[in-house]
Chain A
Amino acid sequence: MSATIAPACRPADYRSAVKPIWCPGCGDFHVLMAFTRAFAELGVRPEQVAVVSGIGCSSRVPAYMNCYGFHGVHGRSLAVAAGLKIVRPDLMVVVASGDGDGYSIGGNHFLHACRRNVDLTYVVMDNHIYGMTKGQPSPTTEPDFDTALAPGGTGMRPFHPLVIALASGANFVARAFSGNPAETAGIIVEAVRHPGFSFVEVLSPCVTYRPDQRAWKDRVHRAPVDATDDAARAARRVMTDDGFNLGVLYRGNRPPYAPPIGKAITDLAELEREFEL
């Protein structure tokens, strides 16, 4: 990513005047702060940043920022962002999503975004619930969590997004916690700087539907070991950890996606040659 280092922008320069609709106590406020801090740290001009999102509480982020934004439809933000970044490699493209938007309807695009490895940063605010639509289980909800749509719990094992990201080829994998916005900002900075597809799963409590998640702040802790560049090792760690290891967990070495370059022609008429009789 080629960011223009400008006269220092402060975090406030990346915020728009729009007041968020999020419930007071929502973890996403801290994530928004983390974004603004991260962008200030990276020194990129607000007009050089594009924040792409789908549908959900976390997907409201673009309107709250003073960058270019795209508030698309449910689950498709990674596709929009990939098209944008391929056409505009000069921009810094960040994708904001939630566990429903990103892992349920967006699941297929998640797999292929990791595989395709376009230079993007994907920040998923995971609160183990569908907040905006009033509290249905998401792919990361615990099996016994009671909801109206799945009374008594889904009975299904939660999705493991970090492992899936590693298995699918993501080049950078990290876990953060919204309650540590400075740490989260630092992780986002690293994620942006790392080439290829960088995935940051941010545990971000939902104050309205998951008040039990207040306990997360006592459960999160730094990962006991440093990040590895061995995807299999990282996957094993993540599959066996307590789900609250914070920090960069994996830094890979895959070259980022580069579109093929053809032999340039100067005259469009050359394209007709193959048809000429």
Chain B
Amino acid sequence: MAEASSVSVAFVGSGGAGALTTGRLLLEAACAAGWHGLLTRSVGPQIRGGEAAALLRIAVDSVECHGDRFDLLVGVDWLNAHRFETEIALGPDSVVVSDPQGGDPPAIVPASGARVIELRLKELTTANPAWRPNMIAVGAAAQLLRLDQVVLADLIDKRFQDKGPAIVAANLAAARAGAAAVAHHNLGFGLARPRAAGARRWLITGNEAVGLGAIRGGIRFAAAYPITPASEVLEWLALNLTKVGGSLVQAEDELASINMIIGGSYGGAPSLTATSGPGLSLMVEALGLATAAEVPIVVVNVMRGGPSTGIPTKSEQADLNIAVYGVHGDAPHIVVAPQSIPDCLLTTQWAVHLAESLQTPAILLSDQFLGQALAAIARPADVSFIGQRQRATAIVAPYRRYALTANGVSPMAVPGVADGQYTAESLSHTERGLPSTSASDHHAQLDKRRDKLERFVFGDLWATIEGEGTLAVIAWGSLTGAAREAVAQLARAGRQVRLIAPRLLSPARPAEMAAALEGVSRLLVVEQSHGAQFYRYLRAHYSLPADTTVLHRPGPLPIRPGEICRELLREQSS
């Protein structure tokens, strides 16, 4: 059997069946054996006891998206599992594990032609009331995937230690029973052996990576208002900022959280908040304030389905417009987007550096997929970006906070510095920061704030550019991984495609983009937005090849590598 580089497994269950716990255990078991993996989850609308699906991809190398199809679907139970039909694509080579007494599988199972194998969960749990069905299922899945049962047992032991020896013993027994129940099936999914343990690896979510990147970049103050799917960034920072002498305060609303970080930054501490679309909408006025008064801040926006309350638990890429254009007036600022979970760390660290260097807000557009997906990744290399603002010291009065300088950045006095007193000003102002309605002052300061961004040397981090070809695909954020996988699939079929993924969305970089598009005669834009926001943004700011089309769809479903491949090939033949 040809060796597969990855295998995709889904667990569904409801009413506290523990589908999500199961997924995590399996991921950790795979990681312990040396594989990489990616775990996401889908849930029903209930607060508790709802239907849940754990979607897992185990791979030889790091993976950044789910594949086109699931190889194994385990139904801990099938209640309301139809909710996940559109997310769990199956094919005739897929295997479905089902309890004959657990209700009917959803229609996709028979329709796909997948092979169904039995796992008598109800029978087993009736005979052994201490056994949980998801523990039986995880043992069965590990067996089918040929994961090491000893490793799994060890993980179960560690995981449930705090629940007492009786629970641990029951879970271990249940897992063994599950494995035994399917041992006679010799499926194998052809997953290639893991590489020899070498590089240090982490198991981390994008939200955690953002938090770590923030602290590494120098963030020492955060203000927080909870919102799905960003709260984990703030919760991680709440715990870890204090370890480095910083602090986080919970605010009463997003209007407060962003104004608090503006105050903290004005006082000299690199400051950050995290939110999602509805919160970002509330923060827009203050983004303008920070832009006009030239106060550096970092705002992490973990995008979710919109507009308005939208789909809080699903990913989408439709906050590009508000991030770039949302502020009233002409208020250019930084917008960056990480491209993968490890990139969340680098891009956040970079965002702090950019905000501080340019004395402006930096919005970081992550999304629910990156933020909440748990992935095994190679430990990211250390990068040197530390937020450093140009401080005014040894000031000769009268201090000109908003002095017109060659690079547009004027040294910033921090309260406490003698002779540096100034009023940070939201009104249009003079170089000294006094309110002014004059044309020359207004124009000069607008020019200053635009020029400081345009004159900055962003370097190669501005975009990821891979490969050569007259055909190119351009994507951003979490879709970078899917686009990269599509390019790899096409490369295996002998077709060369260039991948362009901007990390810096604003300000636009016309010269760099022109270089990236050199030789490209056909371009496919891929994005998760109903209104094709990215495509329109590219059209507005860049010269694109005459043959440029867009593959765009809103959330909640991701755009898969196979779809991108088909779109790239379809264009080829037309």
* Direct chain A–B contact by Cβ atoms under 8 Å: yes
A residues adjacent to B (C-beta < 8 A): 18, 45-48, 50, 52, 55, 62-63, 66-73, 75-76, 79-88, 90-91, 108-109, 111-112, 116, 259-265, 268, 270-272, 275-277
Asked if A264 and B245 sit within 8 Å, CB to CB, the answer is: yes
Contact of B256 among A63, A79, A270 (CB under 8 A): A79
A262-B239, A276-B200 known; A48-B416 Cβ under 8 A: yes
Q: Report which residue of B200, B264, B415, B425 has the largest number of chain A beta carbons within 10 angstroms of its beta carbon.
A: B415
- A sample of 13 more A-B contacts (CB under 8 A), given A72-B426, A83-B265, is A47-B420, A50-B266, A52-B263, A76-B256, A80-B260, A90-B416, A108-B256, A111-B252, A112-B251, A262-B242, A263-B243, A276-B379, A277-B203
Q: In angstroms, how far is the closest chain A Cβ from the Cβ of B154?
A: 13
Name A62's closest neighbour in chain B (CB-CB): B423
A79-B251, A83-B267, A268-B215 known; A88-B244 Cβ under 8 A: no
Asked if A109 and B252 sit within 8 Å, CB to CB, the answer is: yes
CA distance A18 to B205 in the complex (A): 52
Q: List residues of chain A with CB within 8 A of the CB of B223.
A: 79, 83
CA distance A48 to B417 in the complex (A): 8
CA distance A159 to B248 in the complex (A): 32
Q: In angstroms, how far is the closest chain B Cβ from the Cβ of A190?
A: 23
Asked if A76 and B244 sit within 8 Å, CB to CB, the answer is: no
Q: In angstroms, how far is the closest chain B Cβ from the Cβ of A256?
A: 13
Determine whether B262 belongs to the interface, using a CB cutoff of 8 Å to chain A: yes
Asked if B262 and A80 sit within 8 Å, CB to CB, the answer is: yes
Asked if A83 and B421 sit within 8 Å, CB to CB, the answer is: no
Interface mask (B290-324 → A, CB under 8 Å = 1, otherwise 0): 00010000000000000000000000000000000
Name A46's closest neighbour in chain B (CB-CB): B421
Q: List residues of chain A with CB within 8 A of the CB of B259.
A: 72-73, 76, 79-80, 83
Contact of B415 among A55, A68, A260, A277 (CB under 8 A): A68
Asked if A275 and B203 sit within 8 Å, CB to CB, the answer is: yes
CA distance A52 to B417 in the complex (A): 17
Counting from the closest, the 9 A-B pairs by CB-CB distance are: A262-B242, A83-B263, A69-B423, A83-B260, A79-B259, A259-B247, A80-B263, A84-B263, A83-B264
17 contacts between A and B (CB under 8 A): A68-B421, A70-B293, A73-B289, A79-B256, A79-B257, A79-B263, A81-B263, A83-B259, A83-B266, A84-B266, A85-B263, A90-B416, A91-B416, A259-B242, A264-B244, A265-B243, A271-B240
CA distance A19 to B312 in the complex (A): 50
Asked if B252 and A112 sit within 8 Å, CB to CB, the answer is: yes
Name B221's closest neighbour in chain A (CB-CB): A87
Asked if B202 and A259 sit within 8 Å, CB to CB, the answer is: no
Asked if B422 and A68 sit within 8 Å, CB to CB, the answer is: yes
Asked if B31 and A277 sit within 8 Å, CB to CB, the answer is: yes
A69-B423, A87-B267 known; A47-B417 Cβ under 8 A: yes
A68-B415, A91-B415, A109-B252 known; A268-B244 Cβ under 8 A: yes
Q: List residues of chain A with CB within 8 A of the CB of B247.
A: 86-87, 259-260
Determine whether B208 belongs to the interface, using a CB cutoff of 8 Å to chain A: yes
Q: In angstroms, how far is the closest chain A Cβ from the Cβ of B75?
A: 29
Q: In angstroms, how far is the closest chain B Cβ from the Cβ of A36?
A: 14
Asked if A265 and B244 sit within 8 Å, CB to CB, the answer is: yes
CA distance A18 to B215 in the complex (A): 40
Asked if A47 and B263 sit within 8 Å, CB to CB, the answer is: no
Q: List residues of chain A with CB within 8 A of the CB of B426.
A: 55, 71-73
Name B435's closest neighbour in chain A (CB-CB): A63
Q: List residues of chain B with CB within 8 A of the CB of A275.
A: 202-204, 208, 212
CA distance A115 to B242 in the complex (A): 22
Determine whether B562 belongs to the interface, using a CB cutoff of 8 Å to chain A: no
Asked if B427 and A71 sit within 8 Å, CB to CB, the answer is: yes
CA distance A79 to B248 in the complex (A): 14
Interface mask (B417-437 → A, CB under 8 Å = 1, otherwise 0): 111111111110000001100
Asked if A69 and B263 sit within 8 Å, CB to CB, the answer is: no
Asked if A264 and B243 sit within 8 Å, CB to CB, the answer is: yes
Determine whether B227 belongs to the interface, using a CB cutoff of 8 Å to chain A: no
Q: List residues of chain A with CB within 8 A of the CB of B271.
A: 83, 87
CA distance A52 to B259 in the complex (A): 12
